[in-house]
Amino acid sequence: MKKTLFDKVWDAHIVDSIENGPQILYIDKHLIHEVTSPQAFAALEDRGIPVLRPNQIVATADHNTPTINQHLPIQDKQSKKQLEQLTTNCTKNGITLYELGHKYNGIVHVMAPELGITLPGMTIVCGDSHTSTHGAFGTIAFGIGTSQVAQVFASQCLLLTKPKSLRITVNGKLKKGVLPKDVILYIISKIGTNAGTGYFCEYAGDVFENMSMEGRMTVCNMSIEMGARGGMIAPDQTTFNYIQGKEFAPKGDAFEEKVAYWKTLPTDEGAQFDKEYHFDAQDIEPMVTYGTNPGMGIKISETIPANDNASFKKSLEYMGFEQGESLIDKSINYVFIGSCTNSRIEDFRIAADYIKGKQKAKNVTAWLVPGSKLVESQIIEEGLKAIFDDAGFQLRQPGCSACLAMNDDKIPQGEYCVSTSNRNFEGRQGQGARTILASPLVAAATAIAGKIVDITKDVEQLEFV
Amino acid sequence: MEKFITLTSTAIPLAIENIDTDQIIPARFLKATDRKGFGNNLFKDWRYNKDETINTDFALNNSDYSGSILVAGDNFGCGSSREHAAWALVDYGFKVIVSSFFADIFKGNALNNGLLPVQASKEFLSILIRTIENNPETQLVVNLETQTISIHNSEISEGFEIDFYKKTCLINGYDDIDFLLSKKETIEAFEAQKQY
């Protein structure tokens, strides 16, 4: 029987199958953070159940951490308590923790791949819906709720019904200035925010084959925004090259042995998917969103479509936009480059390449938030910080930051923010804040112009895009 | 976990599509380290105006409506995996959410907290919303054993799907941890022989 990449990884992890019910799936790595783990630790403690495999868990502090003055005590009492609770829980249970200030600290979905914790063929879960990011390595990775976090603590397993399979193929050559973020925003704008619900997605075609690991992570990250629990890309030489030499990746013969196994994982020729979509790379252009879900996206040169649906109208009213309107020349006061979607070194290289020698518009507050301490160091070592400083951008310290505005990095009421994050929900970046999702390149260009500009007109001279 | 078998209650209609978990419980309320009290902040930014006064236009603040069933628009619970959304709905007093479509993670979280997600057809959902809006005293009957949702004292009824295992858990008040712990030997045997 011909198998998909997903089938191969899933089947290798089935511990048992319940008649007329779910399967027991073994979990290789469990990533945890401060927000969705405390109640799971408490649930176990209440019932006197130990953590079964603490050495398969890695913790980081990211959602609720400040992005300035991380060396100082945290001001917000509740945040401080939540972070202390994480430290206590990890210490008590013998779990590795990269706490605030640690050289490996960072957003969970940036930190694990860059340390070689994420490997092809694994099952990875985390109490965070953007766990789908790790699928870029050919990994079954998905977000879980806190009750499931407790289940994995207790048993290193989850009870799951196998999802259906979906394949999205994009072939052709991307136009200059079209980034992985544009590809995924384009796909979601075409198929909608629930087209993937109940499915696990595989991204196929030469667009993804030619993409860097950073780009693949950006794409897989947003799988959940079309409802899919996860998205995967077949591991290939790009994947192996990225992993080789990473801190916790297998080394020497062990690495070669793994590579031989990973090479068996790609979908068999002729394997069947429950649903398929095909897109042409040439149809994709730099994207922006205009509404309050990630499916409400348009090409930057297009106008907002007309729609009579009440929820659509409510969304435009929140955003302060009209049907038929173009977003070009809209004045923007906030720009955020960061989040588990776009805070890797490649994202900052692209931004710096555009920004170099230019000045940020006076009306704009521009926050650059690296995904991890390692990315932060790279930004400094590669001289990108100097470019950002000269242009008037603010390079902050790692964390989830204004993607979900749990910390102080909030966009004020009514203000627009062109953001490289993943969700434009009402109030996501602060109460009353209006989010426009875009690529790091569109975000950088917005910060320079102080308004949304048609980036397709000046990308020719750029090196990285 | 509390058992769920049947429920007869009035319902609150919330005819908005794509209600994401950031609306159900905004991120700024996720700093708590226990499960209690999230109901106070359920739909916070829709229930309250910017100046903290009550938004009287919002269905949950409309005194005509009451009950432990929420009838909501398509694709309910999309977005973040935060189980706090399910905790907030339960803490507020909801026992059943009816929608024409649920996001995967939310659905799982709801079931793990004894909150029953009832997926109705789009047509049936519109009938429910219209009927409740016309008469807020309308009682709905949700029967998990027969997997049906009906308008009380009427012929209007529809069946709904639920995973057999999850149904058993809800009816008996079991949770997945109990089950997984009972499989410890099988799990350890798997670990000893895994091939990858």
| pLDDT tens-digit readout, A327-362 | 999 999 999 999 999 999 999 999 999 999 999 999
Are A221 and A130 within 8 A, CB to CB? yes
The single-letter DSSP state of residue A51 is P
Question: How many C-beta atoms lie closer than 10 Å to residue A378's C-beta?
Answer: 18
Could you read off the pLDDT of B2-35 as tens digits, one per residue?
Answer: 899 999 999 999 999 999 999 999 999 999 999 9
The three-class DSSP label of residue A438 is coil
Cβ neighbour number for residue B16 with a 10 Å cutoff: 17
Q: Cβ A423–B109 below 8 Å, yes or no?
A: no
Tens of pLDDT, residue by residue over A59-116, are: 999 999 999 999 999 999 999 999 999 999 999 999 999 999 999 999 999 999 999 9
**CA–CA dist A436, A424 (Å, integer):** 6
For residues B154-174, average pLDDT = 94
Token readout for A457 is 């007109």
Type of residue found at A224: I
Across A444-457, average pLDDT = 95
CB A40 within 8 A of CB A151: no
Residues of A in contact with B33 (CB under 8 A): 38-39, 42, 81-82, 85
Residues 6+ apart with CB under 8 A from A436: A288, A289, A290, A327, A332, A416, A417, A418, A419, A424, A452
Best A31, A140, A148 residue to mutate vs chain B (most B CBs within 10 Å): A148
Contacts of A159 in chain B (CB under 8 A): 165, 176, 179-180
Averaged pLDDT score across all residues of chain A: 97
Question: Which element (helix H / strand E) includes B84?
Answer: helix B84-92
Decide: A187 and A279 in contact? Cβ < 8 Å: yes
Residues A223-258 have pLDDT tens digits of 999 999 999 999 999 999 999 999 999 999 999 999
Tokens of A307: 């729609």
ipTM of the complex, rounded to two decimals: 0.95
Residue given tokens 């949702």 in the structure block: B149
- Give the dihedral sign, CA B47/B49/B55/B59: negative
Tell if the CB–CB gap between B23 and A147 is shorter than 8 Å: no
The DSSP secondary-structure symbol of B68 reads S
Q: Which member of A21, A146, A193 has the closest CB to residue B163? A: A21
Residue that has been written with the tokens 């009402």 in this structure? A426
Sequential DSSP letters for B142-161: EETTTTEEEETTSS-EEE--
pLDDT tens readout for residues B56-84: 999 999 999 999 999 999 999 999 999 99
How far apart are the CA of A270 and the nearest CA of chain B, in angstroms?
A: 24
pLDDT of residue B58: 97
Helix (H, G, I), strand (E, B) or coil at B61: helix
Please tell me the distance from the alpha carbon of residue A420 to that of residue B33, in angstroms, as a whole number.
29
* Contact between B31 and A425 using a beta-carbon 8 Å cutoff: no
Asked whether A436 and A287 are in contact (CB, 8 A), the reply is no
* pLDDT exceeds cutoff 70 at A464: no
Q: What is the pLDDT of residue A175?
A: 94
Choose the mutation target among A147, A193, A428, A431 for the interface with B, i.e. most B CBs under 10 Å.
Answer: A147
Q: Count the residues in chain A.
A: 465
Q: Which two tokens stand for residue B154?
A: 């009427």
| First-to-final CA distance of chain B | 36
Tokens linked to A464 = 């990285």
pLDDT tens-digit profile of A130-158?
A: 999 999 999 999 999 999 999 999 999 99
* Reported confidence tier of residue A465, pLDDT bands at 50, 70, 90: low
Q: Per-residue confidence at A457, pLDDT binned at 50, 70, 90? A: confident
Give chain A positions within 8 Å (CB) of B22: 404, 423, 425-428
The conformation of residue B18, written as its DSSP 8-state character, comes to S
Burial class of residue A461 in the structure, from the number of CB atoms within 10 Å of its CB (0-12 exposed, 13-18 middle, 19+ buried): exposed
pLDDT at A20: 82
pLDDT tens by residue, A382-438: 999 999 999 999 999 999 999 999 999 999 999 999 999 999 999 999 999 999 999
B22 vs A428: CB contact, 8 Å cut-off? yes
Strands of A235-387, DSSP E: 275-280, 287-289, 297-299, 334-337, 365-368
* Residue A441: CA count within 13 A, CB half-sphere: 25
CA dist A14 and A232 (Å) reads 19
Residues in chain B: 196
Size of interface A-B (CB pairs under 8 A): 182
pLDDT exceeds cutoff 80 at A460 = no
Q: What pLDDT, on a 0 to 100 scale, did the predictor assign at position A258?
A: 98
